Amino acid sequence: MAIRSIVQYPDPVLKQKAKTVTKFHARLHKLIDDMVETMYDAPGVGLAAPQVGILKRVIVVDIGVELYEVVNPEVVERRGEQNAVAEGCLSIPNLLGHVRRAEYVKIKGQNRFGEEIEIEADGYLAVAFQHEIDHLNGVLFIDVAEKTFRPQERE
């Protein structure tokens, strides 16, 4: 495993749409392992492959309860609404924002071996999944935030 450099805004790779993963081989496993190590080292609660310069549809999420590795994730169901307090991003340090997100999401995707998986998430975990999946579509939290602010300006 290796810690990779996190791409910083305004690098254009962050605004590009990631490609579907079709090969589930050792290189993909290495990417996922590196992403997990990079996320924990940062420290963060989620990381998308474009954030390490790889335009593949891969995310890792861990809000402190369980590690999720999802390949080709998509939100297939959304319910409710929440306004995340102080949503941030490893690619945009020192900036936070209020973003309206679904309170509940159902995610479908694949694990590192290509097996179908389904995850149901609510609250903060739902926010993390939505944030990381946005990265795969070239959408940053600053693109959808109702308001952005510096950490020292916290309300």
Check residue 19 and report its DSSP letter. B
Within 8 A by CB and 6+ apart from 12, the residues are none
103 as an active site residue: the answer is no
Cα–Cα distance measured from residue 140 to residue 68, given in angstroms and rounded to the nearest whole number: 21
Q: Decide: helix, strand or coil at residue 25.
A: coil
Residue ranges for the binding site for Fe cation?
Answer: 89, 131, 135
Q: Of 87, 115, 120, 132, which residue is the catalytic one?
A: 132
Q: Decide: helix, strand or coil at residue 31.
A: helix
Q: Give the active site residues.
A: 132
